[in-house]
Amino acid sequence: MTRTASAKRGPEFGRQRLPERFCNLDRLLADMEARALDGLVVTTPLNVFYLTSFNGIAHKGDEPRPYVVILARREPEHPILVLADYYLTTPLHQPTWVKDVRPCRSVMAAMDRPPRPDDVDAHIPRSAAGVEWMERARAAYRFDLGEQVRGAMRDLGIDRGRVGFDDEGFGRRLGLDGVEIADGYDPLMHARAVKTPVELELLARATRLNEKAIRRTISRWEEGWTRQDLNHAYAVSAVELGGFVRDPGGLVVSHATGEDPTLTVQSGLEDEEIGPGTHVMFDCHGTLDLYCWDGGKSWVVGDEPTREGAKRLAATGEVGAALVEAMRPGRRISDLAAMGREVYRKTGMADADSAFIFFHGLGLSHIDFELRHPDGRPYRDWVLEENMVLPVHLFHPGGERERAWLEEVVVVGADGGRPLFSWGFEPLTGD
């Protein structure tokens, strides 16, 4: 199709407006009840986004938090979002179901004169005049974030009782009398563990981008490339498609040279040449709409595998297919790992005990599981539930021309797992 002046330009996976609410709120409320929490005060960026659809630009993780969500278990349909005044326009572009928005004075405010109630007007565009929630936000403007949060907790009736904070240090700094500060991390991770339909589509979209970025990287390969060339090509491919890659790189698993069978992760500084026939292990990380992508598989650089390499790659593919089919509600991670090792043995791999078989959650992070049960017991051997999303990692050690790697991303289902990659379990070959 010929582009016209009015045709949309931009990457294939460009930014999109998300639903006002896509979090698993019912699951969160049930877990709050199980943990005897009257409310939650949420400040970490991913949890704020999860609850509100608010994704603030420019903020870095170790800076003072310029946004807070306050949620009362007994009044769940009236959450309050406190944010820096300069973020007031963000909900105009990405709407949120939270209609009680309360701004506070920010770092942009003039320090050479006293604060005034109309300072907030500098951050409200003329086009927002008459927008109901914005008018309420303007009237709610305060000069101090702590004052706003304490007022919001009082209005929701959680200025007394047991309140969870996903950053307990923030709770202590508020100086709350009459509030028992409790852990709020695990309730949110419990909710995030089971994905809503919108989240499943966001993860599928991110995985599609990753698959295309890996294929595009392979198509660009040239003889003589080093590992840094490969890392750079992948990052460029992912960003071209519309994704984001974190410093120091998007490729996570390292590729030991020669006959070294070690499994390590990259530092970003390795720069050995990648020769034809090398088994590159694509384990790629990045984000799209803040949802993570992960995974990949073995690529036999510019060639077909050796006889021994083909044997290990085929066995790993069989293990992957068996594990995906077995990923149903009620299965434990430890059971799946044992099953995978047994499949390796049945394929004739005598050194099945040396294989790595491991899992983790995937969503807004590469865990998305709580650390402790409501009764305080450590939560280590996860039990699968429908619509959990987990990457399955398989590594059979060997030299650079024998090793086998497969990492599939799987949605747990009643009839077995559903892979999010479209390319099957066979290795990538050639260029």
Give the model's pLDDT for residue 6: 43
Residue 187's pLDDT is 98
Tell me if residue 26 falls in helix, strand or coil.
helix
Contacting residues for 185 by C-beta, under 8 A, at least 6 apart: 166, 370, 371
Fold of 25-192: Creatine Amidinohydrolase; Chain A, domain 1 (3.40.350)
Q: Cα dist. 309→210, 304, 354, 428 in Å? A: 25, 9, 16, 13
What integer pLDDT is reported at residue 2 of this predicted model? 34
Closest CA to 73 of 149, 150, 158: 158
C-beta of residue 41 within 8 angstroms of C-beta of residue 165: yes
**DSSP labels for 294-346?**
--EEEEEETSPPPHHHHHHHHHHHHHHHHHHHH--TT-BHHHHHHHHHHHHHH
In this prediction, residue 7 carries a pLDDT of 45
Q: What is the DSSP string of 83-130?
A: EEGGGTTHHHHS--S--EEEEE--TTS-SSS---GGGGGGGS-GGGTT
CA atoms of 206 and 294, how far apart (whole Å): 9
* pLDDT of res. 4: 38
DSSP H/E element including 152: helix 145-155
**Rounded (5°) CA angle 175-179-185:** 95
Report the candidate in 58, 51, 47 with the shortest Cα–Cα distance to residue 96: 51
| Distance between CA atoms of residues 17 and 198, nearest Å | 12
**Spatial distance between the Cα atoms of 76 and 361, rounded to a whole number of angstroms:** 26
No. of helices (H) and no. of strands (E), the chain: 11, 15
Q: Residue 10 has what pLDDT? A: 85
- Rounded Cα distance between 51 and 7, Å, is 34
Asked if the 195-430 domain carries CATH number 3.90.230.10, the reply is yes
Per-domain residue ranges of the chain: 25-192, 195-430
For helices 45-52 and 185-193, give the axis angle rounded to 10 degrees: 50
Burial of 37 (0-12, 13-18, 19+ CB in 10 A): buried
pTM of the model: 0.95
Query: How far is the C-alpha of 166 from the C-alpha of 77, rounded, in Å?
Result: 20
Q: Report pLDDT for 257.
A: 85
With the CA atoms of 317, 319, 322 and 327 taken in that order, what torsion angle do they form, in degrees rounded to the nearest 10?
A: -110
All residue ranges of the chain with pLDDT < 70 are 1-8
Residue 402 CB-half CA count within 13 A: 12
3-state class (DSSP) for residue 244 = strand
Contact of 245 with 284, CB cutoff 8 Å: no
